[in-house]
Structure 1
Amino acid sequence: MGKKITVTVIKADVGGCVGHSSVHSALIEKAQGMLKGSSLLIDSYVAHVGDDINLIMTHELGRNNGEIHQLAWDTFVACTEIAKKLKLYGAGQDLLADAFSGNIKGLGPGVAEMEFEERKSEPIIIFMADKTEPGAWNLPLYKIFADPFNTAGLVIDPSMHDGFIFEVRDLIENTRVNFSAPEEIYDMLVFIGAPGRYCIKRVFHKKTGEIAAVSSTQRLNLMAGRYVGKDDPVCIVRCQSGMPAVGEVLEPFTKPHLVSGWMRGSHSGPLMPVSMQQATPSRFDGPPRVVALGFQLAEGKLIGPQDFFADPAFDQARQMANEIASYMRSLGPFEPHRLHLDEMEYTTMPQVLKKLKDRFEKLR
């Protein structure tokens, strides 16, 4: 057994510039300096998507390590101080606690971590989204690991032919259930087709038990009990050698699917694949964006990144996303552009209902 490497991605919105569109360079520089100065890490990379800072870290301390989570928390707190001085919008909005308490989960930031022994070649892709929620990964992860029309390896690669195990979380009841694909696909789709509640947390190789993918499933509204912004999730996917190829992992994003979030976290819109440079959502604070950064891992070192969605092959997907965005916007405050009522409980909806409750008359 060789040594195991942990890849940890932790994200937070600690202040947008301007509005919700981007991250100020001073915050990025602060985060980079704090991670590079830490003896806990093998390597690190700081990315940004919309108004979110994404800390990508490699180390040998395992998942849920208190020191790693403390480092991320301290980094976000330091960035928040700068955000407050610059009067950035929503400074510290994802930090729901006044102090760190041993594990960053439940405190606001989104977390995705996986621990594994590096293979002879270890390509990984880190997906980072803005203006949406964890369920946004359900459809892409299903296509990547269960749909033979997307992933040819499920049919023609003997090392993948047996399929994958999906761990699905119920974010309301805080429970989980495993589904085996392909034989339990129909059962699984009953749940993951409702991404506001059920999210794919992890995917495992059925034959080897190896971790293949992991997502962040933190729901800010559920933690805070009020609307504090969407969750802007992250996802890590391993590629090649018994896992889906890089191109198979990217393929689902050629057809933008509708996700919840966008303006005020209360609208449905297309998930647009963009380069990190284009991850500055502005139209109606959107539409929602996704960035894909590829790295080769070498003894924990992050070789890269390759900014995959900078490829002009995704130009048509962006055009399609803009067309879908225009159609959805034409619906204004009507569903399905505006989210359905049970997703609106953290907006003005309850206040309006309370104000008008005495005006509702019983029909005889």
Structure 2
Amino acid sequence: MKSTVSVIKADVGSLPGHVKVPDEMLDICRKDLSKGKEDGVIKDFHVTNCGDDIDLIMTHDKGVDNEEVHGLAWNAFQSATKLAKKRKYYGAGQDILKTAFSGNVRGMGPGVAEFEFEERPSEPIIVWAMDKTAPSAFNLPIFKMFGNPFNTAGLIIDTKMHPGYKFEVHDIKKGRKILLKCPEEMYDLLALIGIVGRYVIKHVYRADDEIAASISTEKLSLIAGEYVGKDDPVAVTRAQSGFPAVGEELEAFVFPHLVPGWMRGSHQGPLIPVSQKEATPTRFDGPPRVIALGFQLNNCKLEGPGDLFDDVAFDESRRKATKIADYMRRHGPFQPHLLPEEELEYTTMPKVIERLEDRFEPIE
């Protein structure tokens, strides 16, 4: 039997503003998923949040894009939305961009990261959740995990990893994808994934085609045609025994690199690795956060989680991120703190500039 891990997230309400999902909304989702487990739709689940996003972590044996599983998640988000509207929580139903469920949640607002595989004798996985940023925020750390030997020693000394990995990259603006092999095509890969806002890593495979990672790549503004909120991506990775060690995967987030998002989805800021307790972004609606929850998969049962960034070893990363945030904020409305013009296309900025169009005159 193959096991499937599905991580589906959505922002359907928060308090105050964009800070934290109320506990009662998480409880409603737990109730819905408990019913799904009783009915045999899923084998196990864990409901959590990163900032204002609800993250549904589910295991089952039905494969990816399963209508029953996605429908269960959709209904849980609908239940939470109903309560959010009743309580007048901020952004109630924000990520629910369609009214009718159509078989799976792709293209409907929620973000999805899922994969199917045969469980090993011991199967460690890590579920990653971000808040106040975009799918491209995963590009650098995922590359470090599976493509950079200065981060992941296993690429050099583990015979199963030594042949390298294959990266499935999506061009989210043109709706196309490409598969690039590393280390052979590393430079081609880097030429793409360094361009934020367009190219994002969706899946990573070992050289023998064994799935290693899945990342949500849904871009809300491209679905809705306007800015409706930050994408706040999720990911799930396998670890140990032919994959990067848990510590190697966590190491990829030690450097708080700059990512798009933050306030109004319009600014660059450092990605801070935090414990779940600290995933409550308040400074300028940020800075962007990432949490890491570690599980052992046991015949589709989730053992855990461990809060992997709840470690003093990441304190220096958090201090550095705070200093970077100070530096970026001092730019105010100027680039590079403000995103480039093309990245502001789906925010409210074009409407502001449009008001000035009639006042422009030709330069003599």
Could you state the TM-score of these two structures normalised by the residue count of structure 1? 0.98
3-state DSSP of counterpart to 2:83: helix
Identity of aligned residues (%): 57
The equivalent position to 2:14 in structure 1, one of 13, 16, 39, is 16
1:163 alignment partner in structure 2: 164
Residue 103 of structure 1 deviates from its aligned partner by 1.4
Counting only pairs closer than 5 Å after superposition, residues 180-329 of structure 1 correspond to structure 2 as 180-206=181-207, 208-329=208-329
Residue 33 of structure 1 deviates from its aligned partner by 1.1
AA at the equivalent of 2:310: A
Residue 360 of structure 1 deviates from its aligned partner by 2.1
1:354 alignment partner in structure 2: 354
- In 2, Cα distance between the equivalents of 1:146 and 1:253? 14
1:142 alignment partner in structure 2: 143
1:5 alignment partner in structure 2: 3
AA at the equivalent of 1:94: D
Residue 348 of structure 1 deviates from its aligned partner by 3.0
Residue correspondences, number: 361
Question: Which piece of structure 1 moves more, 343-352 or 182-191?
Answer: 343-352
Residue 33 of structure 2 is aligned to residue 35 of structure 1: yes
C-alpha deviations, 1:115-142, integer Å up to 9, x for none?
0000011000000000001000000011
1:123 alignment partner in structure 2: 124
- In 2, Cα distance between the equivalents of 1:226 and 1:157? 46
3-state DSSP of counterpart to 1:167: strand
Task: Tell me if the contact between 2:281 and 2:287 (Cα under 8 Å) persists in the aligned partners.
Answer: yes
- In 2, Cα distance between the equivalents of 1:324 and 1:204? 33
- In 1, Cα distance between the equivalents of 2:343 and 2:153? 36
3-state DSSP of counterpart to 1:84: helix
- In 2, Cα distance between the equivalents of 1:145 and 1:115? 19
AA at the equivalent of 1:236: V
Residue 347 of structure 1 deviates from its aligned partner by 2.6
- In 1, Cα distance between the equivalents of 2:125 and 2:97? 30
Residue 109 of structure 2 is aligned to residue 108 of structure 1: yes
Residue 183 of structure 1 deviates from its aligned partner by 1.0
Residue 85 of structure 1 deviates from its aligned partner by 1.2
C-alpha deviations, 1:227-277, integer Å up to 9, x for none?
100100001110011100000000011110000000011100000001111
AA at the equivalent of 2:312: P
Residue 53 of structure 2 is aligned to residue 52 of structure 1: yes
Task: Tell me if the contact between 2:265 and 2:347 (Cα under 8 Å) persists in the aligned partners.
Answer: no
- In 2, Cα distance between the equivalents of 1:148 and 1:175? 29
Structure 1 alignment gaps of length 5 or more? none
Could you state the TM-score of these two structures normalised by the residue count of structure 2? 0.98
3-state DSSP of counterpart to 2:138: helix
Counting only pairs closer than 5 Å after superposition, residues 329-348 of structure 1 correspond to structure 2 as 329-348=329-348
> What value does the CA root-mean-square deviation take over the aligned residues?
0.8
Residue 56 of structure 1 deviates from its aligned partner by 0.1
AA at the equivalent of 2:25: L
- In 2, Cα distance between the equivalents of 1:283 and 1:352? 24
3-state DSSP of counterpart to 2:82: helix
- In 2, Cα distance between the equivalents of 1:192 and 1:135? 8
Residue 29 of structure 1 deviates from its aligned partner by 0.6
- In 2, Cα distance between the equivalents of 1:58 and 1:348? 39
Task: Tell me if the contact between 2:239 and 2:246 (Cα under 8 Å) persists in the aligned partners.
Answer: yes
- In 2, Cα distance between the equivalents of 1:249 and 1:101? 35
Large movers: runs of 4+ above 4 Å: none
Counting only pairs closer than 5 Å after superposition, residues 73-84 of structure 1 correspond to structure 2 as 73-84=74-85
3-state DSSP of counterpart to 2:6: strand
- In 2, Cα distance between the equivalents of 1:201 and 1:238? 14
AA at the equivalent of 1:216: S
1:96 alignment partner in structure 2: 97
AA at the equivalent of 2:168: E
Residue 351 of structure 1 deviates from its aligned partner by 1.9
Task: Tell me if the contact between 2:13 and 2:94 (Cα under 8 Å) persists in the aligned partners.
Answer: yes
AA at the equivalent of 2:264: R
AA at the equivalent of 2:224: A
Question: Which piece of structure 1 moves more, 94-103 or 160-169?
Answer: 94-103
Residue 346 of structure 1 deviates from its aligned partner by 2.2
3-state DSSP of counterpart to 2:354: helix
- In 2, Cα distance between the equivalents of 1:351 and 1:144? 40
AA at the equivalent of 1:238: R
